[in-house]
Amino acid sequence: MTADKGEFKRDQNYLADRITADGRDGWPVEPGRYRLVIARACPWANRASIVRRLLGLEDVLSMGICGPTHDQRSWTFDLDPGGRDPVLGIERLQEAFFKRDPQYPRGITVPAIVDVPTGQVVTNDFKQMTLDLSLEWRAYHREGAPDLYPEPLRDEIDDVADKVFRDVNNGVYKAGFAGSQEAYEEAYNALFARLDWLSERLANQRYLVGDTITEADVRLFTTLVRFDAVYHGHFKCNREKLTEMPVLWAYTRDLFQTPGFGDTIDFDQVKEHYYVVHRSINPTGVIPAGPDLSGWLTPHGREELGGRPFGDGTPPGPPIEGEQVPSLAA
């Protein structure tokens, strides 16, 4: 949606119920009770799939995967046999929102967590969702799970994440969906100013906050990994490609090659979503053949900066059956 000045305005009113250890919103953490619904294409949903992998919650929080495209009504489960989610039994995520509120007036968004017994969406508040997976689901984390939101660093993580959201995560959308030259240039300038700031910050430290991977890195990664495939061309964020920003390209490759990050990325689905769904920007629906993906697995050299990806923890195991993505390895 755009305002009078042609600025893209994201509707940030979400179902804000929380699934907590004490169940104070009526939704207690329970293994097997809830289903996380994502789409591989979506950067906001990608955050949840990464955090779930890093924390090892696969056995207690199942995951449904929508296809890469959707219509005006809803994301759909067209990747599943018969076009239905095998656990929820629905064709459209919209059905779970309407179970919660038959008059639900807002967009049907991923990620969403659905209460399996009732079929109702509990929350689609993607910002709070990943924090709660770290804090409220702690009793079910795998042995060796990293602390993605360490208490001493939370203020700094929040500050960096807010800047990244405003200018980068949402900034690419503000550029891509701008309805005026003025609004586009304002978003474009803010985006690249922030990317320059991030490059300077990361030039001498391996991760955004502290010496381990945190929530802040997860949030930045999901935009940067999509940058050359869609945002550079499709959203006109074309001062430089990610591959032309040496620090950020090495940083993103470092994370991509870290278990739990690159093994959640399906570039074909990412491209199909943006170029097919956004017909106001790409009326033909033609999907680009590029970019070349071979560089993602090349050495990045970031180990020289020190840092411990998982702190005192360990990497997650390989993706479980049914959740693998195409490998870039030759």
Kindly tell me if the per-residue pLDDT of 167 is higher than 90: yes
> pLDDT tier at 8 (50, 70, 90 boundaries)?
confident
Tell me what the mean pLDDT of segment 76-87 comes to: 97
pLDDT of residue 289: 97
* Lowest mean per-residue pLDDT among 8-12, 170-174, 246-250, 290-294: 8-12
Task: Count the alpha carbons within 13 Å of 48 in the hemisphere toward its beta carbon.
Answer: 28
Task: Tell me the per-residue pLDDT of 188-202, one tens digit each, with 9 for 90 and over.
Answer: 999 999 999 999 999
Q: Residues annotated in the binding site for glutathione, as ranges?
A: 75
φ and ψ at 158, to 5 degrees?
-60, -40
173 is catalytic: yes
pLDDT of residue 4: 58
| pTM to 2 decimal places | 0.97
The dihedral through the CA atoms of 229, 235, 241, 247 has a sign that is: negative
pLDDT of residue 6: 85
Asked if 116 and 33 touch (Cβ cutoff 8 Å), the reply is: yes
Asked if 286 and 275 touch (Cβ cutoff 8 Å), the reply is: yes
Kindly tell me if the per-residue pLDDT of 62 is higher than 50: yes
Write the burial class of residue 119 (CB in 10 Å: 0-12 exposed, 13-18 middle, 19+ buried): middle
- Cis ω for the linkage preceding 318 (within 30 of 0): no
pLDDT of residue 1: 40
Percent of the chain with pLDDT over 70: 98
66 is catalytic: no
Q: Does domain 34-140 have CATH number 3.40.30.10?
A: yes
**Would the CATH topology of 34-140 be identical to that of 151-305?**
no
What's the whole-number average pLDDT of the chain? 96
Residue 108 structure tokens: 């049907």
pLDDT of residue 329: 78
pLDDT of residue 72: 80
Q: For the chain, which residues make up each domain, given as ranges? A: 34-140, 151-305
Kindly tell me if the per-residue pLDDT of 126 is higher than 90: yes
Q: Residues annotated in the binding site, as ranges?
A: 75
Kindly tell me if the per-residue pLDDT of 303 is higher than 90: yes
117, amino acid identity? P
pLDDT of residue 115: 98
pLDDT of residue 3: 47
Q: Which of 42, 149, 184, 237 is catalytic?
A: 42
Kindly tell me if the per-residue pLDDT of 2 is higher than 50: no
Tell me what the mean pLDDT of segment 90-108 comes to: 96
pLDDT of residue 153: 98
Asked if 60 and 32 touch (Cβ cutoff 8 Å), the reply is: yes
The domain 151-305 is placed in CATH, from the list 3.40.390.10, 1.10.510.10, 2.60.120.650, 1.20.1050.10, at 1.20.1050.10
